[in-house]
Structures are given as C-alpha cells and as structure tokens.
Structure 1
Amino acid sequence: MQSSDMSSRTFRSQDAVRLIDENTYADTMLNTVRPALASCREEGRFDPSEAERAAGLEPIGGTLHYLAYDAAKFDTEREQGATATFRGCIVISHGFTEFAEKYDELVWYFLLAGYSVCVLDHRGHGKSARDVDSRCLVWIDDWRRYVADFAGFASSVGQRYANGQPLNLFCHSMGGGIGAAVLEQYPTLFDKAVLSAPMIAPQTGMPLWLARALAGVFCGIGLGRKGVFGQVDFDPDAPIDMSLYKDSSEARERWYHRLRCETVEYQTYRAAFEWVRQALKLSRAVLDPSACADIVTPMLLFQAGRDIWVLNEPQNLFVRRVQDGGGTAKLVRIDESAHEIFSMPNEVYQPYLERILAFYDTPLLGGE
C-alpha cells in the first residue's frame, strides 16, 4: 500500500512543469505568476445557505470568498510551458489558518497543465464570513458546515469551470479532512481526489480520547469561542522565525509570511476550543468504516514523514478502510517532507507535483 518511490510514474515529459527557481522566487511570483493569474482570475462570493439547508443545517449567515482561474483565459497569456489541452477543473480545499492566495504557485502549475482552478476560503478563514471578532482566531460551530459549504461550492462554481470535463479535488491538512468527508457524503461529485497530508486526525499532543474529553469540558463551561491555551495571535511586525520551518523552502515560507503580513484577513493563527472539538468529531466521522466504504472516487493520499501537525497512523487506517470498502486508494509516503509538501524545496516538490499531475491525467480505467 505504501510507497516512497516518487518516480515510478511521472507526468508526460512533453507536459512537464518546470518549478520556480527558489533563488528568484519572490521576483518570479511578483512579476510573472501573479500578473498571469490576475489575467484569468474571477474573485467572487458564494452563498452557502442553500447547501447548508440541504445538509440539514440552519444557515448562520455570511458569504464565502473564492478565487477561480479560467484555463482558457490563461492560454491567451501564452506562458512558456503551458499545454494547449483543457483537462477540466481542480477545486482546492485549504488547510487550517490558510487562505486561497497562499496556493498561487500551485494554481500556476495546474493552469500550465491545462486545468482551471477554484479555491474557496473556508468559513472563518481568509476573506470569508467569520463568527468571532478576533482576526487571528478560527471558530466553527459544526464540522458538517465546512463539508456542506465546500460541496455546494464545488458542485456549482467548480462544475461551471470544469465545463463538462473532469472535476478533481486537491486538499491539504484540515482541508483534507473536509475533503475526505465530502468524498464520503457526496461520492459522485469529484472524478479524482488528491489528499495532501490530510487531517484525518489532528496532532493534539495527547491521546485523542483525552483531547475529546478536555475540549468538551472547555466548551461546556463557555470557552468554545476562546483560543486554546498557549497559542498566540499573529504579529505582523515580528520577523519570521525560520527555525519553525527548517525542512521547508525558505523562499516559499517567506512569501507566505509576506502575504499574511500584508493582508489582515490572512492573519488567522490559532484555534478556538470549539474548532478543536469539531476537528475531533470530523476525525471520528471520517474514519467510520461504513463512511469509508462510501468512497468511490479514485484517491491518492500523500503522507509527510516529518509531519508534526496531523497524525500519520489515522491516514493509514483511512486508506485501508477505503480499500476494504472496495474503493481505489493509494498512499504515497514522502519520508523527507514536513507537513506542507508544497512548501518543501524543489527537489521534494518536483516529484510530488509530477505524481499529482500524472494521477489526474491518467484515464480512470488505468489509474493509480
């Protein structure tokens, strides 16, 4: 089931994507990538109320921000290395405290490969609706709201950008937990799915049963909208501490930090107790064997060997249960990677990206 061989199947050589040089990363992002993305980008708001009602949830108001990129418009830019073939749409589900614009580099590569891309800011993140006053705090009342919102977005905006071609999923960390639940509850929505270091279960620093009990107690005494003890707000005036990202690409981490400093809506940085409680409920629901057996979408799950934010063993269990239920799932372990595989140096990122593109591009009957 597991594999650390990232070269067994690569994207077709004539379509290979050349990664941005880390030595000129910021200049390339500013002067090449972002102008090209702006030329094909739609910025919009998605009203999730209908999707939430359909899922049996009472809407709590507010709209969700998204960025969408049209491959046909991108083609008019005639970027070097871009394919002339339209392959469908990839919908991205981002991680905890992230935001759509953080994925600009990955969006660039997907566009070069012929895919339109849609990225939703999950509730409480980026420029989407929030339900707490703190700019840094992430709160959610019910994990099922994340799932309903994302499925509603993918089935409307995502399908429009797919334009009759395959609709694929890319999700990371918290977004991977949400994505896994979407695959279980909306089994025909996506044609293929990539889960990158998904939060099948979060790393809490204690046994999950104890974390569930403590989160329940703190929420029960009225601290659900309060930040978890020990976490601090993001300080845009403080320099980035690269010791926290020793395995990652310094150029990429400095770029993300710059984006967060420049935009107050991107400064989510810590969890409310209710978010922790809901993350643990999501984990239990996703790992239910009967739910895993409902997954029919071919799935590729990347596991980071040096992950400190999510647990690896629940990922292994999830893949086994999907397989036991008759689903097509493959786990690829990258021993040398930290949690954000797309933030790693090019020598790790390149084979990871090639594996993703090969998976999306392989016909369903002969896939991974």
Structure 2
Amino acid sequence: MTQHNLQPAFTSPLLPTWPDENFAAVMENRIRPYLARERMSDFVASGARRIYYESYHGSLPSSHAIIIVHGFCGFTRKYEEMIYLYRRAGYDVYIADNYGHGFSTRGVNDPSLVDVADYRTYVDDLHALIAAAVLPLNYKEIILFGHSMGGAIVSLFLLRYSYLCRTAILSSPMLGINSGFCPAWLLELICRLKVACGAKPDYIKGQHPFPEQPDFDGSSCSSKPHYDHIFAWRQTEPKYRTHGASWQWMGASLKAIRQIQRHAADISARILLLQAGEDKLVPAAAQIKFATNAPNVKLQLIAHSRHEIYNACLPERCEYYQAIAKFLAQTSGEDRTSTGEAETRESGN
C-alpha cells in the first residue's frame, strides 16, 4: 500500500501575495527553483501518440492529486505559478502538453497550427496519463482542473469516466465559442464541409501563425507581467508557439461543445465553474446554461478578469484562488484553516 502525507489544506495564506510588479523576481528566485527540485518529466503512450507530462510531488505522495488540463495553445510552463500554489498547499500536481501542443505528438508540421479530428483524442490521452502515472499511487482523490479548451476536455472526460474523478474545477471553460456574426451551427457546417472536401489542415479565417511581436492589449491576460512571462517562454521555446486553429479543430470543438451541453445533466461530479467577467472568447450564457443543467455546479464570477483568470491582476487572482480554496476544503470535508501548517511549509522554501 502506498504511504501518503497528511491530507492537504488549501488555505488563504498560500494565495499569491506578491504584487504584479514583483512577479518576475518571485518567479525567478522562488517559484522556478522550487519547481525544478520537484519536477519529474516523461512521456506516456496513448495509442500511437506520445504525450509529454510533468509531475510534481515530494518523496511521499500526498493523499490528493490535481491534474491540470491546459487550454488552446497552452503548455506546461504556462502554469508555473498555479503548480507552485497547489504544491505549497500539499497537493501533488500533474500536467501534460495536450496532443498537438508543446512536446507531445503533433499531426501537422506547422508549429503554430492546432489541429485535431475529434476531442476523443484529448480524452483518451488524459485517461492514458491517469492510468499510467496517477492511479498507481492510490490517491484518496483525483481532482481535475481544466482551463478553456481544457475545461471542455475535462467535461467530456467526466461523461465517460465518472468513476475516476468526482471533483473538478473548470476555469473559463470552453462551453461555447464566440463566433461573432456566424452562428455556431453554420460555422460547424462550414468546418465539416472544408474537411469533407479534403482540404489540407489550414488556419480558419482570422487565425494566423505565431507573431514575433507581443500584443498584451489583445491577449487573454489582465496582468502584463504574467503576459510577458508567457511570451518570453514562447520566444525561447519554438514548441510553445502554437497560435492558430485549423478548420478541423474548430469543427471538432463545436461538436464537443454540443455533446457537453446535451449531456450536462449526466455529469455528476462536484464542479466549481469560474467565469471571467471580461471574457471575449467564451460566451457567459453558454457557461450559465451548463451550470444550470449539470446537477452539482457552483458558478463563481470573477468580474474584472479577462479569459485567463489565473493570469489576472493580483486582486482577481486572490479572489480566484480563494474560491478554489473554499471549494476544495468543502469537497474534501475539510473545514479547518491550518495556517500554522501552511506557514511552516512556506517558510521551508
């Protein structure tokens, strides 16, 4: 039997307390050295695909694990601050580069283009990761965290594998797509026709390769230091430069969204849905619809945040992590605020 550490306590002292202007220094001097000491990386086989993943835990595993599923054009290093906070709270953390992203297998040669035929690929890869790396450690609970596209992947996973995970955090989940003046059904039809006609994977209208110049104002981040940190990673590592969607990816995404909304009532897991008040990518109505139809969803609005709430300014990030802390404490049956334990762990950094 696997020996575990004490049950984690996600408490307010572990919230990000550093001002945005100090973020770069905190990342360089505190977060990265800490993560480097704990990081283990490997590949997991999922069919013919090789999925790159990282795990973060101490010499003894925790009783709880959090699996982060990133969003469209995301990658592991984009979540360094979040991984650090979860680890300091006592959770083991796993994160993978989704198919077509980062160091995982890709189906196209263009390093900027994201292409997938069906979201079952993402779900199968997530299951392969859990089966190979997570389940053998016999955690008391496995918690799924999904941002944007990752939220859609997690939702589909919960429909298929409800017995594996009973708790999930959906951050700005892609439960709809802001398609402008083109209704979703028409856009999906166009995408299907493009693929059926044998068109090679190419950028959907309005999408393009990775730009060499930063564009904070047009980004999904509210915190410029966080945006600069992510853009620096993209400049340093070519595999982190995914930027645009293919027609096939868009069609697969719209199909996945229809499936999730149609079967929302069948998702029994406890879910915290964090909604960004200034989200320009995902319509709030789609998230509200899901929260209304799924039986066990708590909807939390973070009013003054763009799409990536975990890259918002400090007040919004604190509100975000406070909501997560409260949710995790409630779902684990933990009503204590073990500030002494938390501060002891933090002082050991």
TM-score range, shorter chain: 0.7 to 0.9
Aligned counterparts of 1:215 and 1:285: Cα–Cα separation in 2: 17
Question: What is aligned with 2:315?
Answer: 347
Name the Cα RMSD after superposition.
Answer: 2.1
Question: What is aligned with 2:347?
Answer: none
The reply to whether residue 149 of structure 1 matches residue 138 of structure 2 is: no
Residue 275 of structure 1 and its aligned partner are, at CA, apart by: 0.2
Unaligned runs of 5+ in 2: 1-8, 336-349
Q: TM-score, normalised by structure 1?
A: 0.84
1:201-237 alpha-carbon deviations (Å, 9 max, x no partner): 222222111111211222222225111123221134x
Unaligned runs of 5+ in 1: 1-9, 50-60, 75-85
Residue 12 of structure 1 and its aligned partner are, at CA, apart by: 3.9
Residue 141 of structure 1 and its aligned partner are, at CA, apart by: 1.7
Aligned counterparts of 1:281 and 1:224: Cα–Cα separation in 2: 20
Question: What is aligned with 1:262?
Answer: 236
**Residue in structure 2 matching 1:280, options 254, 259, 269:** 254
Question: What is aligned with 2:190?
Answer: 214
Question: What is aligned with 2:340?
Answer: none
Please list, as runs of the form range in 1=range in 2, the aligned pairs for 1:101-112 lying within 5 A after superposition: 101-112=77-88
Question: What is aligned with 2:45?
Answer: 47
CA contact (8 A) 1:248 1:338 kept: yes
Per the alignment, in what secondary structure is the counterpart of residue 223 of structure 1? coil
The reply to whether residue 138 of structure 1 matches residue 114 of structure 2 is: yes
Which amino acid in the other structure matches residue 309 of structure 2? I
Question: What is aligned with 1:70?
Answer: 57
Question: What is aligned with 1:7?
Answer: none
CA contact (8 A) 2:101 2:242 kept: yes
Please list, as runs of the form range in 1=range in 2, the aligned pairs for 1:134-283 lying within 5 A after superposition: 134-160=110-136, 163-205=138-180, 206-223=182-199, 225-236=201-212, 238=213, 240-245=214-219, 248-283=222-257
**Matched residues, percent identical?**
30
1:284-321 alpha-carbon deviations (Å, 9 max, x no partner): 11111xx3232221111011111111122111111111
Aligned counterparts of 1:20 and 1:256: Cα–Cα separation in 2: 18
Please list, as runs of the form range in 1=range in 2, the aligned pairs for 1:350-365 lying within 5 A after superposition: 350-364=318-332
Aligned counterparts of 1:204 and 1:232: Cα–Cα separation in 2: 16
Aligned counterparts of 1:283 and 1:301: Cα–Cα separation in 2: 16
Change (3 A) 1:293 1:245: closer
Please list, as runs of the form range in 1=range in 2, the aligned pairs for 1:117-136 lying within 5 A after superposition: 117-136=93-112
The reply to whether residue 299 of structure 1 matches residue 271 of structure 2 is: yes
Residue 171 of structure 1 and its aligned partner are, at CA, apart by: 0.6
Please list, as runs of the form range in 1=range in 2, the aligned pairs for 1:91-102 lying within 5 A after superposition: 91-102=67-78
Which amino acid in the other structure matches residue 189 of structure 1? L
Which amino acid in the other structure matches residue 156 of structure 2? A
Aligned length: 326
Aligned counterparts of 2:191 and 2:58: Cα–Cα separation in 1: 44
CA contact (8 A) 1:138 1:272 kept: yes
CA contact (8 A) 1:185 1:294 kept: no
1:9-33 alpha-carbon deviations (Å, 9 max, x no partner): x9645x5434333112112212221
Aligned counterparts of 1:224 and 1:311: Cα–Cα separation in 2: 30
CA contact (8 A) 2:221 2:311 kept: no
